[in-house]
């Protein structure tokens, strides 16, 4: 069996600490990768900076607020070990506080996209059996609708405090609960856990097929993935002069990635804080706002996805209006960058270290990243395997490939998730003997550099988010005019991919569509609107709708998606902005 791995050995990491105990309380966590030496004497910087106000929040305040909220959630709502709390919010300085408060009670956190429509949120609530919902005020109406349908009492919907606004009448606010918890006797004791098996997060992913599934992520997966990243980038180690080190206590990162997404949760939040850096948490992404914040706070580290990079490359005149010389590091994940885009971003930030990383929700984030030995990652490469990661290449004939042979990438890592929550069939398909079958076609060269070549699985990657064709197909088939459908991804400069639907119309609708160009456009627009009304924005049919007479299938009825992908290449369709 051909297994690829580095020679670096991971340190022994405690198995009895929860995420907040390790990141907030444990005095020796940085000593694990720094030869037993502490760096806490170098740590006067705040952990969070609130984007709008510049308010700086340090470790002591974070500990206090997480304790206060945990105490109130225990006393008022009786949240106990293994209860699931769903957070339906944009980034907010109290979002991490809420995560760590739930963890101190032994609870499980499930983050949901605040742009979900109510039926998408309802699906997540029911799948993870949430007992409590914390919500951004902008998403309150959707949360209330979904909570009511799920049978969750509205007094168990709690609102984050935003811009000094009080929670609407009848709803409790997070800030008031924190104060309440700090001013009453302690109602809870942090449970003892085995971090390798105790669930911390139910993070939703489309896996290889079908509707989103709850990935069961234990506390240890987050902790060890941060350690793997820190070892890979030699955090706290004196491997170079201070000014040339990639991650230094006191540096400032921007948090534009959503915390509900695994990339934002593990790397942009926990890894940045572990590295003793400050994080400017951004509530909602805007390119101009990001440029302003980089200039205002002299931000040094950007963790981004390809659409962000494309904006830098396409809006160079706007970029030139801002002082961005503070940027020293840019990491891009979620999808590959083209050689042309790589070259452009290198020119825009000539002094910065820039490269890519690869990971997925099922591996609890990163398994590779561009190396510390290179200022620039190799164009098209996902970087080197991280310490503790093992990789195999599964070829079509069932054998395992060696160097430079393509096949399905399979990953073993101590950070791998435990499987899909209460979904044994899906778990068996993806989690095999401790290995994750990624569904990505890849190869590994003799330098242990990982190259992602194509997607074997059907999942599309739209703006870094997974989109399952089957989910959209189910939605489209609910449209009264549609008899059959198949959805494929088509390339898009900004989003990476966008969904295009091939549809077979029912006879009456087909006759209408054939009457005139205008009627044809109306039918297509109606199908697009139906999807827009029922799915989050990045799942919309930005690639359009193509009417066909039949959907090609094999004798067993399986959609021949590859045939339609080829057909899509020759349509030369413009995409619509999501």
Superfamily of domain 460-569: ANL, C-terminal domain (3.30.300.30)
pLDDT at 107 exceeding the cut of 90: yes
pLDDT of residue 178: 97
pLDDT of residue 207: 57
Q: What is the mean pLDDT of the segment spanning 312-327?
A: 92
Give residues with Cβ within 8 angstroms of 382, minimum separation 6.
336, 356, 357, 358, 368, 369, 442, 449, 450, 451, 452
Spatial distance between the Cα atoms of 364 and 224, rounded to a whole number of angstroms: 9
pLDDT of residue 576: 53
Q: What is the mean pLDDT of the segment spanning 91-114?
A: 97
Of 78-82, 212-216, 297-301, 496-500, the poorest mean pLDDT is in 496-500
pLDDT at 556 exceeding the cut of 50: no
Count other C-beta atoms under 10 Å from residue 23's C-beta. 23
**Domain extents for the chain?**
4-17+202-455, 58-193, 460-569
Could you report the per-residue pLDDT of 120-146, keeping only the tens digit for each? 999 999 999 999 999 999 999 999 999
The H or E element spanning position 450 is: strand 450-455
pLDDT at 399 exceeding the cut of 50: yes
| Radius of gyration of the chain measured on its C-alpha atoms | 24
pLDDT of residue 72: 98
Q: What is the mean pLDDT of the segment spanning 425-438?
A: 94
Could you report the per-residue pLDDT of 156-215, keeping only the tens digit for each? 999 999 887 777 888 999 999 999 999 999 999 999 999 999 999 999 987 555 678 999
pLDDT of residue 490: 87
Q: What is the mean pLDDT of the segment spanning 427-448?
A: 92
Contact between 217 and 199 under an 8 Å Cβ cutoff? The reply is yes
Q: 3-class secondary structure for 37-72?
A: CCCHHHCCCCCEEECCCCCEECHHHHHHHHHHHHHH
% the chain with pLDDT above 90: 64
Superfamily of domain 4-17+202-455: ANL, N-terminal domain (3.40.50.12780)
Q: What is the mean pLDDT of the segment spanning 401-414?
A: 94
pLDDT of residue 491: 85
Give residues with Cβ within 8 angstroms of 101, minimum separation 6.
65, 66, 67, 68, 69, 70, 73
pLDDT at 247 exceeding the cut of 50: yes
pLDDT at 217 exceeding the cut of 60: yes
Count other C-beta atoms under 10 Å from residue 527's C-beta. 24
Decide the pairing of beta strands 56-57 and 48-50: antiparallel
Backbone angles phi, psi at 410, to 5 degrees: -120, 135
Spatial distance between the Cα atoms of 234 and 560, rounded to a whole number of angstroms: 46
pLDDT at 252 exceeding the cut of 80: yes
Query: Is-same-fold flag (4-17+202-455; 58-193)?
Result: yes
The encoded tokens of residue 347 equal 């020119």
pLDDT of residue 379: 82
Could you report the per-residue pLDDT of 507-545, keeping only the tens digit for each? 888 889 888 888 888 989 999 999 999 898 889 999 999
pLDDT of residue 571: 80
The pLDDT-based confidence of 41 (bands split at 50, 70, 90) is very low
| pTM for the model | 0.85
Region of residue 142 (phi > 0: left; psi between -120 and 50: alpha; otherwise: beta): alpha
Q: Taking all residues of the chain, what is their mean pLDDT, rounded to a whole number?
A: 90
pLDDT at 100 exceeding the cut of 80: yes
% the chain with pLDDT above 70: 93
Give residues with Cβ within 8 angstroms of 83, minimum separation 6.
105, 107, 108, 131, 132
Query: Packing angle between helix 339-348 and helix 306-314, nearest 10 degrees?
Result: 60
pLDDT at 562 exceeding the cut of 90: no
Q: Between residues 448 and 575, which one has the greater pLDDT?
A: 448
Q: CATH classification of 58-193 is 3.40.50.980, yes or no?
A: yes
Contact between 24 and 66 under an 8 Å Cβ cutoff? The reply is yes
The encoded tokens of residue 11 equal 């340190």
Count other C-beta atoms under 10 Å from residue 227's C-beta. 25
Contact between 67 and 104 under an 8 Å Cβ cutoff? The reply is yes
Q: Between residues 89 and 378, which one has the greater pLDDT?
A: 89
Spatial distance between the Cα atoms of 428 and 419, rounded to a whole number of angstroms: 8
Spatial distance between the Cα atoms of 497 and 542, rounded to a whole number of angstroms: 9
pLDDT of residue 22: 96
For the stretch 138-153, what's the b/e string if a residue is b when 16 or more beta carbons lie within 10 angstroms of its beta carbon?
A: ebbebbbebbeebebe
Torsion of CA 46, 51, 53, 58, to 10 degrees: -20
pLDDT of residue 31: 67
As a whole number of angstroms, the longest Cα–Cα distance in the chain is: 77
pLDDT of residue 210: 63
The encoded tokens of residue 39 equal 């760096």
pLDDT at 243 exceeding the cut of 90: no
Q: Between residues 577 and 259, which one has the greater pLDDT?
A: 259
């Amino acid at each position: 069996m051909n297994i690829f791995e580095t020679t670096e050995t991971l340190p022994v990491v405690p198995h009895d600490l929860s995420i907040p105990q390790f990141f907030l309380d444990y005095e020796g966590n940085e000593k694990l990768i720094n030869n037993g030496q502490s760096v806490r004497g170098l740590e006067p910087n705040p952990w969070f900076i609130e984007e709008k106000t510049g308010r700086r929040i340090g470790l002591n305040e974070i500990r206090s607020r997480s304790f206060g909220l945990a105490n109130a959630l225990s006393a008022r709502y009786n949240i106990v070990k293994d209860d699931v709390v769903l957070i339906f919010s944009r980034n907010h300085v109290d979002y991490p506080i809420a995560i760590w408060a739930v963890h101190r009670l032994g609870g499980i956190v499930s983050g949901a996209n605040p742009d979900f429509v109510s039926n998408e949120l309802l699906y997540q609530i029911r799948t993870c059996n949430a007992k409590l919902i914390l919500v951004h005020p902008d998403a309150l109406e959707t949360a209330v609708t979904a909570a009511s349908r799920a049978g969750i009492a509205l007094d168990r919907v709690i609102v984050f405090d935003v811009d000094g606004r009080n929670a609407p009448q009848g709803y409790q606010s997070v800030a008031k609960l924190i104060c309440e918890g700090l001013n009453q006797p302690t109602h809870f004791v942090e449970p003892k856990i085995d971090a390798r098996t105790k669930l911390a997060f139910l993070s939703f992913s489309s896996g290889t097929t079908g509707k989103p599934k709850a990935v069961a992520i234990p506390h240890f997966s987050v902790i060890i993935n941060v350690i793997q990243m820190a070892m890979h980038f030699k955090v706290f180690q004196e491997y170079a002069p201070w000014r040339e080190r990639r991650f230094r206590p006191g540096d400032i990162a921007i948090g534009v990635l959503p915390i509900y997404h695994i990339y934002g949760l593990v790397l942009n939040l926990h890894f940045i804080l572990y590295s003793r850096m400050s994080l400017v948490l951004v509530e909602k992404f805007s390119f101009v706002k990001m440029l302003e914040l980089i200039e205002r706070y002299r931000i040094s580290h950007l963790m981004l996805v390809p659409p962000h990079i494309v904006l830098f490359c396409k809006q160079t005149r706007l970029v030139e209006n801002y002082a961005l010389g503070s940027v020293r590091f840019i990491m891009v994940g979620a999808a590959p960058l083209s050689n042309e885009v790589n070259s452009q971003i290198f020119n825009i930030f000539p002094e910065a270290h820039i490269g890519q990383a690869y990971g997925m929700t099922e591996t609890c984030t990163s398994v590779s990243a561009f190396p510390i030995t290179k200022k620039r990652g190799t164009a098209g490469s996902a970087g080197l395997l991280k310490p503790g990661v093992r990789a195999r290449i599964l070829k079509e004939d069932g054998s395992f490939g060696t160097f430079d042979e393509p096949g399905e990438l399979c990953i073993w890592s101590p950070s791998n998730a435990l499987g899909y929550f209460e979904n044994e069939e899906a778990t068996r398909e993806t989690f095999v003997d401790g290995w994750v079958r990624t569904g990505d076609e890849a190869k590994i060269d003799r330098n242990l550099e990982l190259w992602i070549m194509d997607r074997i699985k059907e999942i599309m990657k739209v703006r870094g988010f997974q989109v399952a064709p089957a989910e959209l197909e189910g939605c489209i088939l609910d449209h009264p005019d549609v008899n059959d459908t198949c959805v494929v991804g088509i390339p898009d400069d900004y989003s990476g991919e966008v969904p295009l639907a091939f549809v077979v119309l029912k006879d009456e609708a087909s006759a209408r569509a054939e009457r005139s160009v205008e009627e044809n456009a109306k039918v297509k627009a109606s199908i697009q609107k139906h999807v827009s009304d029922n799915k989050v924005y990045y799942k919309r049919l930005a690639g359009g709708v193509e009417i066909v007479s039949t959907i090609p299938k094999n004798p067993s009825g399986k959609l021949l998606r590859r045939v339609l992908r080829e057909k899509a290449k020759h349509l030369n369709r413009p995409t619509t902005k999501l």
